[in-house]
Amino acid sequence: MNLTHHFLVSMPIVTDDYFSRSVIYLIEHNEEGAWGVVVNKPIGLKLGDIFDQLDIEFSDDALGNTEVLRGGPVDEQQGIVLHRPGHNFDATKNFSSGVSMSSSKDVLEALATGNAPDDCRVFLGHAGWEAGQLESEIADNAWLTDPASADQLFDTDPDELRNAVAANIGVNLNLLSTQTGHA
């Protein structure tokens, strides 16, 4: 089963700091492994901070106050921007799911000047799995999976995304326990 462009929703048994209560947009999944970005966890950094670090001028305070999200524990200094298709930058990949990914400085410069897609999310870092690791975690009930929706990714507040994706597949996460077995 290929889960490229699916959401992964962590189950209550996942207690790792990076992945507890997380939603991951899986960018690639194949026989060599998988990788994606956590799409619902702010890193405590604003986009204006990134602009300042990269000497990119911006004048829109609302844009500068946009939350940067923690994409995962791998390459935490690497920026990734997920956005709707239509804008191509130096390093853009367009996916059939209605999502594009850019990772070059020019996408941030376009954001700063208002010449970028309206719908986008900015991340630092990503998550990765070795061959067979994700499949094993899914078999151990660590993750729920659901085909990703660009509308849901961009139109749902990151704080509400985990419950919204779980609800797509009929799961109320508030009713799940971290305990297994029976009395």
Element (H, E) at 53: helix 47-53
Q: Which residues contact 1 (CB under 8 A, 6 or more apart)?
A: none
At residue 174 the predicted structure's pLDDT band, cuts being 50, 70 and 90, is: confident
Task: Using a cut of 0.75, tell me whether the model's pTM lies above it.
Answer: yes
CA angle 13, 17, 18 (to 5 degrees): 100
> Which residues are registered as beta bridge partners of 163?
none
Q: Are strands 92-94 and 6-10 parallel, antiparallel or unpaired?
A: unpaired
Coil vs helix vs strand at 179: coil
**Per CATH, which fold does 6-175 belong to?**
VC0467-like (3.40.1740)
Q: Taking residues 49-78, report their average pLDDT.
A: 91
115 versus 161: the higher-pLDDT residue is: 161
Residue 6: is its pLDDT beyond 90? yes
Distance, CA of 37 to CA of 126 (rounded, Å): 5
Q: Taking residues 24-51, report their average pLDDT.
A: 95
Residue 95: is its pLDDT beyond 80? yes
